[in-house]
Amino acid sequence: MSLTRVQFFSISLDGFGTGEGQTLEAPFGHAGERLHEWMFATRQWRGPDQPGGSGGVDDLFVKQHDQGIGAEIMGANKFGPRGWHEDPEWKGWWGPNPPFHTPTFILTHHAHPPIEMEGGTTFHFIDATPAEALKTAREAAGGKDVRIGGGATVIRDFLAAGLIDHMHIVVVPILLGRGVRLWDGLEGLENDYQIEAISSPSGVTHVTFTRTGA
Amino acid sequence: MSLTRVQFFSISLDGFGTGEGQTLEAPFGHAGERLHEWMFATRQWRGPDQPGGSGGVDDLFVKQHDQGIGAEIMGANKFGPRGWHEDPEWKGWWGPNPPFHTPTFILTHHAHPPIEMEGGTTFHFIDATPAEALKTAREAAGGKDVRIGGGATVIRDFLAAGLIDHMHIVVVPILLGRGVRLWDGLEGLENDYQIEAISSPSGVTHVTFTRTGA
């Protein structure tokens, strides 16, 4: 069964999934890298040829990144800074071999030919509702799961449409004060999910949402 | 040394300290009792003559409620529903023996004579800034700590004024969607505090803020 999953999407304690003022130099705006330092510190992120790195619960979650995933859907702001569609050279933030390794669908109103990258990632650009995008991504996923990669607005839209089966949110103990909120307009979400929380010695708290039977 | 403390102030995952629509029957508005069920389930809350109740980390925090506290400051909305100052019989939500057992200062623009209750609680009504209120409460606390009792707006005002030494927030895994937010306007608060998080099997996460040296 192909599930729709959100994986370690990081938010601040005050609920922002990204800061204000995204630019080419600052993909997360004034948040900088502070939402993701916990991730950079894991063994999995650092790679097997690097010494050190934490091997606890943070690492276990990061190790799930590619497991069983056959496609990703992301918002246009995750793919590039405002105006990227006018730059014919822009191929995302991630260099020649992006960390997706699957068909990856970018939600955008701007038509754009697909971009084939190294390592199995192909970027497709689609103008679609969450349900339509999911149908397209699921067909491309070959029976595997579909990752909803963010940003906050995209995850919120998929939640509001009732399309997320499993979600893993990482609450980072910082207060961003401004940016894009994840939780707006989702009153009562807990009624549809089993929710667990586990704090890590790194300071973050992992909150998992597993959809219960309807 | 007399500290200023916030104790187990409960918020939803989306950051609301109370719901919308406070009334006499619903002190927390549409949140009902859902922000505090974790607390009602503890041994300490149920009382020593009641069987059962959880005796873990939730209980340890609740047991701190009266420890070392010499006075409380609260907002007008914690004391009563809108218009309480026009009801000469209104003496708070808590019955004849409120759970404070100390001088308790209510921040209000409405002058009101003090109300002496059973068990050591006396309600005083003051129109003051956070710093002024703290000075008054500290004098009444006899060298003990001052509890900032809430609601969310009052805690936020004391945080913004740099007056909180220790804060314990309980994040409850529900999404209220609307109400009064705790975190608004507090960007960078983490720079002034050591922050720890510990999840409980009950589902809530306790987040403690301890002020670091300035």
Q: Count Cβ neighbours within 10 Å for each residue of B109-133 and write b for 16 or more, e otherwise.
A: eeebeebebeeebbbbbbeeebeeb
Best mutation target among A164, A184, A190 (most B Cβ atoms within 10 Å) is A190
For chain B, the C-alpha Rg in angstroms (whole number) is 17
Cβ-contact B15, B181 below 8 angstroms: yes
Domains and CATH numbers, chain B: 4-211 (3.40.430.10)
Contacts of B204 in chain A (CB under 8 A): 197
Of A178, A199, A203, the CB nearest to B187: A178
pLDDT at B1: 85
Mutate to test the interface with B, among A9, A13, A209 (most CBs of B within 10 A): A13
Question: Which chain A residues contact residue B184 at CB under 8 A?
Answer: 14
- The reported pLDDT for the residue numbered B48 is 81
- Residue A214: predicted pLDDT: 52
* Spatial CA neighbour of B83 closest among B42, B112, B114: B112
- pLDDT attached to residue A51: 85
- Confirm or reject contact between A13 and chain B (CB < 8 A): yes
Question: Under a CB-based contact definition with an 8 Å cutoff, are residues A56 and A44 in contact?
Answer: no
Low-confidence residues in chain B, pLDDT < 50: none
Cα A152–Cα A112–Cα A83 angle in degrees, nearest 5: 55
Q: Does the pLDDT of residue A104 top 80, yes or no?
A: yes
Closest by CA position to B5, among listed B55, B63, B67: B67
User: What is the chain B residue with the closest CA to A196?
Assistant: B203
The ipTM (two decimal places) reads 0.91
pLDDT at residue A94 is higher than 80:
yes
- Residues of chain B in contact with residue A14, where contact means CB-CB under 8 angstroms, are 15, 183-184, 186
Long-range contacts of residues B23-29, Cβ cutoff 8 Å, at least 24 apart: B23/B81, B24/B81, B27/B81, B27/B93, B29/B179
In this prediction, residue B214 carries a pLDDT of: 52
**What residues of B are in contact with residue A203 (Cβ under 8 Å)?**
195-197
Which stretches does DSSP call E strand in A44-129? 69-75, 103-107, 115-116, 122-126
- Chain B, 145 to 164: residues with Cβ < 8 Å from chain A are none
pLDDT for the residue A146: 98
CB-based contacts of A95: which residues, under 8 Å, 6+ apart?
A: none
* B175 reaches A (C-beta below 8 A): yes
How far apart CA B79 and CA B90 sit, in angstroms, is 9
3-state secondary structure at position A73: strand
